[in-house]
A = this chain, B = another copy of it.
Amino acid sequence: MEHFLKKAKASASELLRIDGAKKKSVLLQIADDIEKNSNKILAANEKDMALAREMNLSSALIDRLFLDEKRVRSMAESVREIAMLKDPVGRVLDGWVLDNGLRIEKVSIPIGVIGIIYESRPNVTSDAAALCFKSGNVSILKGGKEAKNSNEAIAETIQAVLEKNDLPKELVSLLPDYSREGVEKLIKMDKYVDLIIPRGGEGLIRYVSENATVPVVKHDKGLCHTYIDKDADFDKAVAIAVNAKVQRPGVCNAMETLLVDYAIKDEILLKLYEAFKPHMTTLKGCALTKEVLPDIETASEEDFHTEYLENILSIKVVDGVEEAIEHIRKYGSGHSEAIVTENYTTAEKFMNEVDAACVYVNASTRFTDGGVFGFGAEVGISTNKLHARGPMGINDLTTYKYKIYGEGQIRQ
């Protein structure tokens, strides 16, 4: 493992020497070859699928694992999109001149070696490799064991293109060790690895965060709230609440808990009840909610801590924006939080005091997404507070250096 990582680290300098045109051309070739090798990739995937069926893996997992012509084409398309992004390296982030004439430039550069730990979707292999390559980073990819054959076929395709272009194949590699010990070693190799991005279940992410000595950017839980204030426009409020819950309940930016201002509870709760009815949403309410909607389920303390990722909604009546902020502080995951209000001061208070990657006024939390934000390609949604927070674009796969230009200055 150490030898493998050493080679990966050593290859990083190659990436500093190739220009944007070459990076683009290599990625377009990779996209083409993924399509050309479609049969090979699908054959490998068929092996994984057979094993998965044999092992009785869940149908959700099998669906994530499954590839067909169309999914392979969309993998290639996604690599093409990444190829066409603006080069994230070399952006001048800041610059100034000191009194002594030294000219300082703060410039974006690649991070170095990035380890990405993910689960069963094979398309993450090509996506992650392309994002890292475009941003000048070496990628060490650790996919799910159940997708081993698919990932190998995809990685071989990528490595063949690298070699055809006189680039070391170590720029994109699969971690050779698929075991838990493999991950354990990887996340402690801070000498060779500069960043770990775990994408997957809570258990994996907790394990990685607790044991890594390499810096980690997490993408985990989204327990998002929407607060309907007494000064809300009710039509907006209902539309936003329904959208935040039902438009795609299984994702991290979907709403899990709706907070309703006491002052308007009677009217708004009845409207919400009617609006959610056609969507078959399971509503669970606090005691005050149940006074208005007696036939819904009861929301327990545990419900307010739960990221359902399903068409279920907890509802709580709160005493104004202060209590809404308090509730979010206690139960929120710092992902996306929204207020619906027409009151300027209330909106500002919520926007300033809620600590989350994304805070919304009068809009659905479902907009928290790198693609929607215009970042072009989605690395994920970071729940870290440092380095990258919220929707993470390809620019977040860079760090910076200061370049200082002198004419012989020495320090007095």
A→B interface (CB under 8 Å): 13, 16-17, 96, 98, 102, 104, 109, 111-112, 190, 194-195, 209-210, 213, 215, 233, 235-236, 239-240, 242-244, 247, 329, 351-353, 355-364, 366-368, 372-374, 384-387, 389-391, 399-411
| Pairwise interchain contact B386-A387, C-beta atoms closer than 8 A | yes
Query: So how many copies of this chain end up in the complex?
Result: 2
Choice from B233, B358, B404 contacting A402 with Cβ under 8 Å: B358
Roughly how many angstroms separate A390 CA and B407 CA in the complex, as a whole number?
A: 22
Given the known interface contacts A16-B352, A386-B386, A387-B386, the answer about A357 and B102 at a Cβ–Cβ threshold of 8 Å is no
Candidates B236, B387, B391, B401; contact of A358 at CB < 8 Å: B401
Contact across chains for B359 and A411 when beta carbons are under 8 A apart: no
Bound state CA distance, A373 and B363, in angstroms? 41
Residue of B nearest to A188 (CB): B210
Contacts of A361 in B (CB 8 A): 403-406
Cβ 8 A contact of A13, one of B104, B353, B386, B411: B353
* CB-based nearest B residue for A361: B405
Q: Given A233-B408, A355-B112, A362-B408, are A98 and B401 also a contact pair (CB < 8 Å)?
A: no
Could you tell me if A385 and B111 are in contact, using CB atoms closer than 8 angstroms?
A: yes
Q: Which residues of B lie under 8 Å from residue A390 when comparing CB positions? A: 401-402
B405 touches A362 (CB 8 A): yes
State A14–B96 Cα separation when bound (angstroms).
35
Contact B407 A362 (CB under 8 A): yes
- Give complex CA distance A208, B367 in Å: 38
Q: Are A402 and B357 in contact (CB under 8 A)?
A: yes
Does B410 lie within 8 Å of A357, measured CB to CB?
Answer: no
Shortest distance in angstroms between A214's beta carbon and chain B's nearest beta carbon? Answer: 10
Closest partner residue, chain B, to A236 (CB atom) = B408
Which residues on B sit within 8 Å (CB–CB) of A359?
401-404
Contact across chains for B389 and A400 when beta carbons are under 8 A apart = yes
Assuming A235-B408, A247-B411, A364-B409, what are 16 further A-B pairs, CB within 8 angstroms? Answer: A17-B353, A102-B363, A109-B355, A215-B386, A236-B407, A242-B410, A355-B401, A358-B402, A360-B405, A362-B406, A366-B410, A366-B411, A368-B402, A385-B399, A387-B387, A389-B400
The smallest beta-carbon distance between A11 and chain B, in angstroms, is 12
Shortest beta-carbon distance, A95 to chain B, in Å?
Answer: 12
Most chain B Cβ neighbours within 10 Å, of A17, A96, A112, A355: A355
- Give complex CA distance A364, B244 in Å: 55
Which residue of chain B lies nearest to A340 when distances are taken between CB atoms in the complex?
B408
What residues of B have a CB within 8 angstroms of the CB of A194 in the complex?
385-386
A411/B243 contact (C-beta < 8 A), A13-B353, A215-B215, A361-B405 known: yes
The answer on a CB contact under 8 Å between A367 and B247 is no
Q: When the two chains form their complex, are residues A367 and B16 in contact, meaning their CB atoms are under 8 A apart?
A: no
Give 20 pairs: A residue, B residue, CB < 8 Å, sorted on A.
A13-B355, A16-B353, A102-B367, A112-B355, A210-B213, A215-B215, A215-B384, A236-B407, A240-B408, A240-B410, A356-B401, A362-B405, A363-B406, A364-B410, A364-B411, A367-B409, A368-B402, A386-B386, A389-B400, A390-B402
Complex alpha-carbon distance, A404 and B373, angstroms: 10
Per CB-CB distance, the 6 closest pairs between chain A and chain B, nearest first, are A363-B406, A243-B410, A236-B408, A366-B411, A362-B406, A386-B387
Question: How far does the Cβ of A406 sit from chain B's closest Cβ, in whole Å?
Answer: 3
Report the minimal beta-carbon distance from A346 to chain B, rounded to whole angstroms. 14
Residues of B within 8 A of A363 (CB): 102, 404-410
Q: Check A247/B366 contact, CB under 8 A, given A215-B384, A361-B404.
A: no
A209 to B111, CA, bound (A): 18
- With a cutoff of 8 Å between Cβ atoms, the chain B residues found around residue A400 in the complex are 389
Complex Cα gap A239–B17 (Å): 31
A102 to B215, CA, bound (A): 33
Contacts of A190 in B (CB 8 A): 209
The complex places the Cα of A384 from the Cα of B102 at a distance, in Å, of 24
